[in-house]
Structure 1
Amino acid sequence: MDSIVEVVALILGFVAWVMVGISIPNRYWKTSTVDGNVITTSTIYENLWMSCATDSTGVHNCREFPSLLALNGYIQASRALMIASIIFGTFGLVAGLIGMQCSKAGGENYVLKGRIAGIGGVLFLLQGLCTMISVSWYAFNITQDFFDPFYPGTKFEIGEGLYIGWCSAVLAIVGGAVFTCSCKLGTEEKYPLPYQARGTVYSGAAPTARSVAASTYGRNAYV
């Protein structure tokens, strides 16, 4: 595969990895809605780690979730998936740097480098899938509570942290797909072809006069 395409795929994977790192600590995974409220004195926003509130004067107050076991199951799963996404992306970047054709790491064995690039592509795909599942699952619970007319608690809307996660997932999946396609499934190295002269192949044995003449003048020149 063209080296430029691999560089673009690596850049996409790197940007996706950075965006995951931005999305995880972002406080605005969900924000309290103002729908149906005439006067709003405070805004509540949460992420995977803490819950915050800000009043009309702009004072912020945050508290971390006190217990892991007391959290909802989807929050615990989203945490695990986002951490796994960071890990997959880290190893994917390392494999991508080694497996690129324009990289000097890994020597000149392009078959092996292609396979390493393919592994990096799979890791990027796993990163994108983990991120996509995490943010989509979190958003599903937000919308489920929002549209439930009998939900007694505070209703929330989707925050900017989820949009960053979705963009990261798409970039990681695209970059991973390109890297996976660059994986070369051949099992042999590319060696120079044996010497060919007008249709006659010489592979080690000395050519005879008859074979040289036949290749030069054709078979009809001799009876």
Structure 2
Amino acid sequence: MRKRLIQIFGFLISTLGWVFVCCTIAMDYWRITSIGGQGGSWIIKTASYWSNLWRDCYTDSTGTSNCRDYDVLWGVTPYVQGVRGLLMVGMAFGCIAAILCFIGMDCTYIGGSEKAKDKLVFTGAIFHFVGGISDIAAYCLYINRIARMTFANSVERGVLRYGIGTPIFLGLVASFFIILGALLYAVTVYLVLVPKRVVYALAPRTYMAPQTYKGSRNRTPYNGPSYYGLPRQSRQSRQSRSSGYTNSSRVSRISQITEERSARDAFV
């Protein structure tokens, strides 16, 4: 039950993150700057310049916006192309990750056995993590470009110093949501990477000396005090002699019983 709840929470967090990333791609005001409005006078109106991944715009004091769309792909500034590419790669990884995690979640009835579903969830978590890192790299690249122009000591004439807009902050939060969802997925299937180890403990072996009894009646050649101290040839000779003695005693006992039976039959 706990595994299912964690996976559902990770699915909601990661999905919310990807929704925010998609929203930032279409949002305006990635960078913004204002002109005018200095001196604390309310009479002086301000005009603003702002940009996103698809166009540059100018909004005058009356609220009218004039925009210039980026014409073709190879005519766009290189860093904007890099941001676009990283975001698209991240979204592609996110789509694959969402499908894999949805199939492998414990609350769904597709995906095969439990082990196979865990592997799908772990693979989806990796794709989520890579996609989140790609999105963070895209936003950081855009921030780096703005910061270099803003904090430069001197800039060319006509170059504006922009500030960071709302979509950048929303995108960074969304990227951390995606990575958090990937970690929640990975926590539920950690046994796939680290299986339970079984330790077998072997009992120590002990040696028990042969028992010896008092008296010579129960003593045999194998439990005598000096038997295990003899060399191998001596032990073999003692075994052969003891076996010979045993056979001869059996033969004498059988002959004695036969003589008793023949004497009894003769008496009868």
TM-score normalised by length of structure 2 = 0.65
Query: Could you tell me which amino acid in structure 1 is paired with residue 68 of structure 2?
Result: R
Q: In structure 2, what is the Cα distance between the partners aligned to 1:62 and 1:104?
A: 50
The answer for the alignment partner of 1:75 in structure 2 is 80
1:163 and 2:169 equivalent? Answer: yes
Cα shift at 1:86: 1.4
For the aligned residues, what is the CA RMSD? 2.1
Cα shift at 1:161: 0.9
The answer for the alignment partner of 2:216 in structure 1 is none
CA separation of 1:34/1:2 partners in 2, compared to 1, >3 Å: closer, same or farther?
Answer: farther
Q: In structure 1, what is the Cα distance between the partners aligned to 2:174 and 2:137?
A: 12
Cα shift at 1:68: 2.4
Q: In structure 2, what is the Cα distance between the partners aligned to 1:67 and 1:40?
A: 34
Q: In structure 2, what is the Cα distance between the partners aligned to 1:110 and 1:180?
A: 15
The answer to whether the 8 A contact 1:29-1:158 is kept is yes
Q: Secondary structure at the match of 2:75?
A: coil
Q: Secondary structure at the match of 2:153?
A: coil
The answer for the alignment partner of 1:28 in structure 2 is 29
The answer for the alignment partner of 1:97 in structure 2 is 102
The answer for the alignment partner of 1:134 in structure 2 is 138
The answer to whether the 8 A contact 1:111-1:186 is kept is no
Query: Could you tell me which amino acid in structure 1 is paired with residue 57 of structure 2?
Result: C
**Which structure has more helix as a fraction of its residues?**
2
Q: Which runs of 5+ in 1 are unaligned?
A: 189-223
Q: In structure 1, what is the Cα distance between the partners aligned to 2:61 and 2:11?
A: 44
Q: In structure 1, what is the Cα distance between the partners aligned to 2:137 and 2:174?
A: 12
Matches within 5 A, 1:10-29: 10-29=11-30
Q: In structure 1, what is the Cα distance between the partners aligned to 2:36 and 2:187?
A: 47
Query: Could you tell me which amino acid in structure 2 is paired with residue 158 of structure 1?
Result: I
Q: Secondary structure at the match of 2:58?
A: strand
Shifted more, 34-43 versus 53-62: the winner is 34-43
The answer to whether the 8 A contact 2:36-2:46 is kept is no
Q: Which runs of 5+ in 2 are unaligned?
A: 196-268
The answer for the alignment partner of 2:66 in structure 1 is 61
Shifted more, 115-124 versus 34-43: the winner is 34-43
- What is the percentage of aligned positions where both structures have the same residue? 24
- Bigger radius of gyration among the two: 2
Provide Cα deviations, 1:73-112, integer angstroms capped at 9, x if missing partner. 22111000111111111111111111111111213x1111
Provide Cα deviations, 1:113-171, integer angstroms capped at 9, x if missing partner. 00100011111111211110000110111011001121120110000110111011100
Query: Could you tell me which amino acid in structure 1 is paired with residue 20 of structure 2?
Result: M
1:185 and 2:192 equivalent? Answer: yes
Cα shift at 1:34: 5.3
1:174 and 2:180 equivalent? Answer: yes
CA separation of 1:148/1:57 partners in 2, compared to 1, >3 Å: closer, same or farther?
Answer: same
TM-score normalised by length of structure 1 = 0.77
Matches within 5 A, 1:102-141: 102-107=107-112, 109-141=113-145
Q: Secondary structure at the match of 1:69?
A: helix
Q: In structure 2, what is the Cα distance between the partners aligned to 1:121 and 1:84?
A: 16
Q: In structure 1, what is the Cα distance between the partners aligned to 2:149 and 2:93?
A: 32
Q: Which structure is higher in RCO with an 8 Å CA cutoff and minimum separation 6?
A: 1
Query: Could you tell me which amino acid in structure 2 is paired with residue 46 of structure 1?
Result: S
